[in-house]
Amino acid sequence: MSRIKLIFSKATQLLMMVKVMADEDEELAQLKVLYDELWRDAKSMIKDMNRSIFIYFFAGLITLAFSTIIIGTAVSDLNKILSNGASSLTYFYAIVEVPGAVFMIIFGITLLYWYRKLKKRYSKWIEIEKKD
């Protein structure tokens, strides 16, 4: 009786191993399909990544440009306040514009920093895209 249990146990283990191997083969096949698709789309992916990195540069410049506009508006409002021709709304604008401009300057510089960092990190890929 114990031999039958032993044979049954070994057969069960063997079937489980076959199932695990089949599952691994299926997973490998799925990974191969994914890898083949990535290989075909590599050039377009590099082009898309390059465009995405450039968005950091563009957004950083736009943010810094708008921050200069905000600084100009704040100076104008402070000028109105100093000339005693300001309403209470002008005081509110002057108080809000200064920290807003500082925040936008920091944000713009951060975007430009990330642009430089990503461009440096993926420079080899960008060169490959430019060659083709």
Residues 28 and 65 in one domain: no
**How much is the pLDDT for 103?**
95
Statement to judge: residues 7 and 64 lie in one domain: no
Contact criterion met (CB below 8 Å) for 93 and 71: no
- 118 and 83 in a common domain: yes
Same domain, 59 and 32: no
- Specify the pLDDT at position 31: 73
How high is the pLDDT of residue 100? 92
* 73, 93 Cβ separation under 8 angstroms: yes
* Total domains, the chain: 2
My answer on whether 112 and 57 are in the same domain is yes
Same domain, 77 and 132: yes
Same domain membership, residue 100 and residue 66: yes
pLDDT score, position 117 = 93
Residues 53 and 84 in one domain: yes
Res 51: pLDDT: 86
Given this model, what pLDDT does residue 99 score? 92
My answer on whether 31 and 49 are in the same domain is no
77 and 118 in a single domain? The answer is yes
pLDDT at 105 (0 to 100): 95
Give residue 3's pLDDT. Answer: 55
**Predicted local distance difference test score (pLDDT) of residue 34:** 74
pLDDT of residue 41: 74
Q: Same domain for 26 and 69? A: no
Residues 102 and 127 in one domain: yes
Q: Which domain holds residue 129?
A: 42-132
Per-residue pLDDT of the chain (132 residues), as tens digits, is 555 555 556 666 655 665 555 566 677 677 777 777 777 777 777 888 888 889 999 999 999 999 999 999 989 888 888 888 778 888 888 889 999 999 999 999 999 999 999 989 888 877 776 776
Backbone angles phi, psi at 86, to 5 degrees: -110, 145
